[in-house]
Amino acid sequence: MVIDLDKCSGCQACVVACQAENNIAIIGPAESAKGRTIHWMELIPYIEGEYPHIKARLIPRPCMHCDHPPCTKVCPVYATYINEEGLVAQINHRCIGCRYCTTACPYTVKYFNWYPPEWPKEMKGSLNRDVSIRTKGVVEKCTFCSHRLLRARERAKAEGRDLLPEDYIPACVQACPSGAMFFGDLNDPHSMVSTLSRERRAFRLMEELGTEPKVFYLSEGT
Amino acid sequence: MSGNDVKPVEDAILFEPMMKTGKAFYLALSGLVAVILWAGWAYLHQYRNGLGVTGLARPVFWGVYITNFVFFIGISHAGTLISAILRLAKAEWRRSITRSAEVITVLVLFFGVGNILMDLGRPDRMLNIIQYAQFRSPLLWDVASITVYLTASSVYLFLPLIPDIALLRDYGGKWKGFYRIFALGWRGTEKQHRLLEKGIAFMAILVIPVAISVHTVVSFVFAMTIQPMWHSAIFGPYFVAGAIFSGIAALIVAMNLIRKVYHLEEYLRPVHFNNLGILLLVMTLLWFYFTFTEYITVYYGGEPLHMMIFWSKFTGRFSLPFWGMFFFCFVIPMPLLSFRKTRTPLGTLIASISIVIGMWLERFIIVVPTLTNPRLPNETVLYSPTWIEWSVFAGCISFFILLYMIFTKVFPIVSIWEIREGREKSVAEVQERIKTYLPGISVE
């Protein structure tokens, strides 16, 4: 995934799209104040430098889907692992809720269900049937909408053709109104994301940790 | 032979707890049971509603339960390890204290493990740890090494109990059938004694590396992540030293209680407290050394992330528990343990209580500040434990005391046969041994 921060307007459409797509529980204001919200995609304020040379910007932060994820190493039950697509997957019905992965992740992208997930009555009908609902006491995080990949693959199979890059994009990328988000195969040297990731403006979060995130950011002056 | 041919009247006071039970015992029992029931109710509340009832949140995913886990596992190093070292070193003063130490280990381990289980979001799935075991995870190393430790410590507690159980069987008190089974046909023959001593010596050696591995691996849960101030090579030895430190302190507290309650002043003498006090003093200094090394390394490295956590401990929002830890772990016990005059049962008791509190704070100060300062900007979340967590903690301590009390009612808390053996054989043995140390004295 590539996110062009120079194009991002901070509108949070990606956040909303993600919440709706992935059946993310609605956490009330009281619990939110305690830090119990769940956002697979979140806009985080990134402040660089010190006054008077201060620079603040908002960075959309999904799961980085690292090539060397610190979280998968520590899971005692293989409930989080790198799957054959290279995505960091999460098996919600196996997770024992020890929260070791949540503490090990340097990007703090993992969330815990402190209570059973809840939605207002009106929303219950519009839950996404492709995404399983988590129970209380398990960890969840961004999956790059891997259920969409399953779907796309099945459709391609039914139509008797190969999977095309445009068949599968996550909800956040689809929703971005300013066209700041790109999704595709980083291993394919001709793909859009691959080209962008090699741009001068490209960087990744905390590259020095050696986690090899698969989310690239583009920004002038970095 | 210190077997059954000795009249049970000797050391009668050691048999007394098993024979007579006073009002005070039942009073304490009901008090403890009340706390345990309260804690059980609190946990039930958490089990039903989810971990939201605790003070935890993102990014402070771990709190009091994990602190307790590390703390209780640390306390467990009181027994087996110290007893094993004293046995192997042939320290004769060990005889009246080994049992009370070993019991701590076996019992407190359950609460270490219990706290991890209570910290799980889905305790109903805990067996996944066996079904889907992933041995790259340090948590699995914990599971493996604590299991071995619990087994080895239980065997190590049981072996020296056998002759005492036989004594109780022949004493003619309550539960004869029970003692008969567990005495395993002990008759105190020469052959049985030889076998027993071999077994104890073997277990004593085995248990030392296992005990060290346990707390090293507990530290690895933190050290194997890349989180600032956890990812440190010092954590293994630091945790082991801290564990022995808090372990000896817990032992001294337990010994003081046993001594008072069962009037064992003759068996647990000031010299025992003095000797353990010296050991504890060594550990106090070692603790200071490790703590100093840990923080000065961070300070001189000066990495911004580390410094943020460093200052939150020294002057920031964790300064109270941090300096509390320093005060309880060093400032109070150091002078008390330094002087012979204050290395009395009472003096060491005060120092030990202080150390036990201080070491709990240390575990807390390791777990929480790092999580409070994540790498990516995050809304500040201040962790303050709720009544649920405190209740469960109180319940764990009460349950531990309860089990310990019950143990003293079923088995002698001071090893009777070892005391007798010391009286009958060791005096001569030690004399012989000293002769082998020195030139100019002929060995007979």
pLDDT, residue B2, reads: 45
Q: Quote the pLDDT of residue A50.
A: 79
**Rounded-to-integer distance, Cα B426 and Cα B218, Å:** 39
Question: What is the model's pLDDT at position B442?
Answer: 64
Q: Given an 8 Å threshold on Cβ–Cβ distance, is A96 in contact with B120?
A: yes
A215 with A205: CB under 8 angstroms?
yes
Q: What ipTM was estimated for this complex?
A: 0.91
Task: Give the minimum alpha-carbon distance from B383 to chain A in angstroms, rounded to a whole number.
Answer: 9
To the nearest whole angstrom, how far is the Cα of A59 from the nearest Cα of chain B? 11
DSSP count for chain A of H helices, then E strands: 7, 10
Q: A179 or B172: whose pLDDT is higher?
A: A179
CA distance B216 to chain A (A): 16
**SS3 category, A7:** coil
pLDDT, position B290: 96
Name every chain A residue with its beta carbon within 8 A of the beta carbon of B128. Answer: 77, 79, 94, 96
pLDDT band at B6 (very low <50, low <70, confident <90, very high): very low
Minimum distance, in Å, between the CA of residue B139 and any CA atom of chain A? 6
Residue of A36, A110, A114 to mutate when probing chain B, most B C-beta within 10 A: A114
Compare all CA atoms of chain A with the CA of B130 and give the residue at the minimum distance: A77
CB contact under 8 A, B125 and A135: no
Contact yes or no for A102 and B225 at CB 8 A: no
Stronger pLDDT, A153 or A57, i.e. the higher one? A153
Look at residue B414 and tell me whether its pLDDT is greater than 50.
Answer: yes
Cβ pair B128:A77 closer than 8 A:
yes
- Interface check A78 vs B, CB under 8 A: yes
Residue B251: pLDDT over 90:
yes
Q: Which residues of B touch A36 (CB under 8 A)?
A: 52, 57-58
pLDDT-based confidence at residue A53 (cuts at 50, 70, 90): confident
Rounded to 10 degrees, what is the CA torsion of B327, B332, B338, B341?
180
A137 close contact with B: CB closer than 8 A: yes
pLDDT in the model for residue A192: 92
Is the Cβ pair B58, A205 closer than 8 Å? Answer: no
Residue B9 pLDDT class (50, 70, 90 cuts): low
Q: pLDDT at position B1, please?
A: 41
pLDDT tens for residues B290-330?
Answer: 999 999 999 999 998 899 999 999 999 999 999 999 999 99
**Which 3 state secondary structure label does DSSP give A45?**
strand
**Can you spell out the DSSP letters for B355-399?**
HHHHHHHHHHHHHHHHHHS-SS----------HHHHHHHHHHHHH
Q: What is the pLDDT of residue A221?
A: 66
Q: Can you give the pLDDT at residue B183?
A: 83
By the 10 Å C-beta count (0-12 exposed, 13-18 middle, 19+ buried), A157 is classed as: exposed
CA distance to partner chain A, nearest, from residue B64 (Å)? 14
Pairing outcome for strands A202-203 and A42-48:
unpaired
Return the residue in B45, B47, B48, B61 with the most chain A beta carbons within 10 A, the one to mutate for interface testing. Answer: B61
Tell me: pLDDT of B7 over 80.
no
pTM (predicted TM-score): 0.93
The residue-averaged pLDDT of B208-232 equals 93
| Distant-in-sequence, close-in-space partners of A148: CB < 8 Å, separation ≥ 6 | A130, A168, A169, A170, A171
Q: Which of B49, B139, B378 sits opposite A98 (nearest CB)?
A: B139
Phi, psi of A43 (to 5 degrees): -95, 115
Q: Do A77 and B122 touch (CB under 8 A)?
A: no
